[in-house]
């Protein structure tokens, strides 16, 4: 039976942690090796330097005073307090002249210098005898044939080197173990965060649209990813809710015109028809069908707009567009018994789609005409806004929109109860809001300066100016 590995062992994070552990271990090993060899090299180099200095001084004594002066220097050094060197001097026949040892540890070389390693017997103060390691040089004396040994006790050096070796042997596996443990802990933490995100995604796929990934507040990449994921899920939930509401709203808003259309046709079929009554029925039927088609066209255009499939932004002068719309709506307001005034500033350029901006402003003006009672006033202005923007504002003296309903009325098929008797699909402000989003602007709804029972509506389409 094949055993399943824990989840975190299969993660990329754990593999990266292993690589990190291996690199850490390699670095630690290289550092320890460097420390070992540099320390040992320094100890040996220092010993060689001091040995050279010792031979230099003894050589000067030999060359200035011969064997007698050399033996005297050796005896002086043997009795020097705190000296760490051992000496042995013999003549050409091998007879001991002075020294710490009973005899030369090894046969001297015929000429030049010989490095020797040996052990010597040392008498302790308590009467015991121990062998201690030593290293030194034997030099054959010129013109005399004698030999001189200078050595030092290497036990301390050996102990230092041994301690370094033991420290390396202890520290290396401990460092490796800690690096592996650190890698495992890091990978487990990352694996848990990844599992949380995966479980959130699985829950959303299972229908829990309100489920969100936990954000711990650490500000790391997992928190940033969770925040982006939650923002995406918020948008998805909003779109799904909008889609559900849209379906219900379409069914509700199309039921009335389709019912009227069916009733009209039933009445026409149940009675004898003259040419005049048939033409009237057909005209009313065409108008009703046109209203239904208009609703569907508005839905399709809004969907394409929100999907980014419609609109081509170019540099355009909204002042010219505003003047055209003012000329178009002035007679419409006069026909509806409304006052109309416009204030269009010149040379206001934005980067936008002319048709879409025109449609958005037409929707705002059309809403103002539709909901302003006879005898009311409508004003239309295009001016410079704050922070490098252009404000395109329509103000009416109608009933206005309460503060608590302003966020709702810019959604699809959302209409206030007082507007149910008016023709329309509830898509006008939704399209204006989408046009504003597409151009990096905003739709701002506020009260006008009317009385409390009819404050009017001030609708501003604000776009960045170029």
Whether 125 and 25 map to the same domain: the answer is yes
Least confident stretch, 238-247, 361-370, 415-424, 453-462: 415-424
Whether 274 and 243 map to the same domain: the answer is no
Residue 199 lies in a domain: no
CA dihedral of residues 422, 425, 429, 434 (deg, nearest 10) = -170
Residue 360 lies in a domain: yes
Helix or strand holding residue 462 (H, E): strand 457-464
Q: What is the pTM of this model?
A: 0.48
User: Residue 405 has what pLDDT?
Assistant: 85
Residue 172 lies in a domain: no
What counts of helices (H) and strands (E) characterise the chain?
8, 12
Whether 240 and 265 map to the same domain: the answer is no
Overall size of the chain counted in residues = 466
Q: List all residues 6 or more positions away from 159 whose beta carbon is below 8 Å from its beta carbon.
A: none
d(CA 284, CA 290): 10
- Please state, for a pLDDT cut of 90, what percent of the chain lies above it: 23
Q: Can you tell me the mean pLDDT for 185-194? A: 74
Whether 113 and 241 map to the same domain: the answer is no
| Cα separation values, 438 from 295, 356, 465, Å | 21, 10, 14
CATH number of the domain encompassing residue 400? 3.30.565.10
Which residue, of 121, 140, 160, is where some domain finishes? 160
User: Residue 388 has what pLDDT?
Assistant: 92
Rg of the chain over all Cα atoms, to the nearest angstrom: 50
Whether 384 and 346 map to the same domain: the answer is yes
Whether 289 and 389 map to the same domain: the answer is no
State the pLDDT confidence band at 130, using cuts at 50, 70 and 90.
confident
- Please state, for a pLDDT cut of 70, what percent of the chain lies above it: 86
Helix or strand holding residue 252 (H, E): helix 221-270
Cβ atoms < 10 Å from Cβ of 116 = 17
Residue 5 lies in a domain: no
Residue 169 lies in a domain: no
Residue 123 has pLDDT above 90, yes or no: no
Residue 20 has pLDDT above 90, yes or no: no
Helix or strand holding residue 225 (H, E): helix 221-270
User: Residue 170 has what pLDDT?
Assistant: 82
State the pLDDT confidence band at 376, using cuts at 50, 70 and 90.
very high
24 burial type by CB count under 10 A (0-12 exposed, 13-18 middle, 19+ buried): middle
Tell me the pairing of strands 129-140 and 457-464.
unpaired
d(CA 76, CA 222): 77
Whether 125 and 89 map to the same domain: the answer is yes
pLDDT digits (tens, 9 = 90+) for 153-173: 888 877 877 887 788 788 778
Whether 270 and 227 map to the same domain: the answer is no
CATH number of the domain encompassing residue 64? 3.30.450
User: Residue 343 has what pLDDT?
Assistant: 95
Report how many domains make up the chain.
Answer: 4
Whether 285 and 337 map to the same domain: the answer is no
Residue-range definition of the domain harbouring residue 272:
260-306
Residue 352 lies in a domain: yes
Q: Answer whether 47's CB lies under 8 Å from 41's CB.
A: no
Whether 28 and 151 map to the same domain: the answer is yes
Which residue, of 141, 160, 179, is where some domain finishes? 160
Whether 53 and 135 map to the same domain: the answer is yes
Which residue, of 100, 132, 160, is where some domain finishes? 160
Whether 335 and 377 map to the same domain: the answer is yes
User: Residue 2 has what pLDDT?
Assistant: 53
Q: What is the DSSP string of 34-81?
A: HHHHHHHHHHHHHHHHHHHHHHHHHHHHHHHHHHHHHHHHHHHHHT-T
Residue 426 lies in a domain: yes
User: Residue 385 has what pLDDT?
Assistant: 93
User: Residue 1 has what pLDDT?
Assistant: 47
Residue 197 lies in a domain: no
């Amino acid at each position: 039976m094949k055993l399943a590995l824990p989840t975190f062992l299969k993660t990329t994070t754990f593999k990266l942690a292993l690589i990190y552990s291996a690199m850490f271990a390699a670095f630690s090993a290289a550092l320890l090796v460097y420390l070992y060899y540099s320390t040992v090299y320094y100890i040996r180099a220092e010993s060689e330097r001091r040995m050279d200095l010792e031979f230099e001084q003894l050589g000067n004594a030999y060359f200035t005073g011969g064997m007698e002066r050399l033996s005297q220097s050796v005896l002086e050094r043997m009795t020097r307090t705190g000296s760490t060197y051992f000496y042995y001097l013999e003549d050409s026949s091998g007879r001991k002249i002075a020294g710490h040892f009973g005899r030369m540890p090894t046969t001297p070389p015929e000429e030049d210098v010989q490095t020797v390693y040996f052990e010597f017997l040392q008498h302790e103060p308590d009467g015991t005898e121990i062998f201690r390691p030593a290293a030194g040089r034997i030099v054959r004396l010129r013109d005399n044939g004698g030999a001189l040994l200078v050595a030092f006790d290497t036990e301390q050096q050996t102990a230092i080197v041994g301690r370094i070796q033991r420290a390396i042997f202890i520290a290396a596996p401990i460092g490796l173990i800690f690096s592996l443990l650190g890698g495992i802990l890091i990978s487990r933490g990352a694996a848990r965060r990844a599992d949380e995100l995966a479980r959130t995604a699985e829950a959303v796929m299972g229908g829990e649209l309100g489920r969100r990934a936990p954000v711990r507040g650490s500000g790391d990449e997992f928190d940033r990813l969770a925040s982006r994921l939650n923002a995406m899920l918020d948008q998805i939930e909003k779109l799904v809710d909008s889609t559900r509401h849209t379906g219900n709203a379409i069914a509700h808003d199309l039921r009335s015109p389709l019912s009227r259309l069916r009733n009209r046709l039933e009445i026409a079929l149940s009675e004898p028809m003259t040419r005049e009554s048939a033409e009237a029925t057909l005209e009313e039927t065409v108008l009703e069908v046109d209203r239904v088609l208009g609703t569907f066209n508005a839905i399709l255009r809004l969907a394409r707009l929100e999907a980014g499939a419609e609109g081509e932004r170019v540099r355009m002068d909204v002042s010219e567009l505003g003047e055209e719309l003012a000329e178009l709506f002035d007679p419409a307001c006069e026909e509806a018994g409304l006052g109309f005034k416009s204030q269009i500033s010149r040379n206001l350029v934005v980067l936008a789609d002319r048709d879409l901006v025109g449609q958005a402003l037409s929707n705002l003006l059309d809403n103002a005409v539709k909901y302003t009672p006879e005898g009311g006033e409508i004003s239309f202005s295009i001016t410079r806004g704050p922070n490098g923007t252009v404000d395109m504002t329509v103000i009416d003296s109608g009933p206005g929109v309460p503060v608590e309903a302003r966020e709702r009325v810019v959604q699809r098929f959302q209409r206030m109860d007082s507007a149910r008797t008016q023709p329309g699909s509830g898509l006008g402000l939704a399209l204006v809001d989408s046009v504003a989003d597409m151009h990096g602007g905003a739709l701002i709804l506020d009260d006008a300066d009317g009385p409390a029972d009819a404050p009017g509506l001030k609708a501003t389409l604000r776009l960045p100016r170029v």
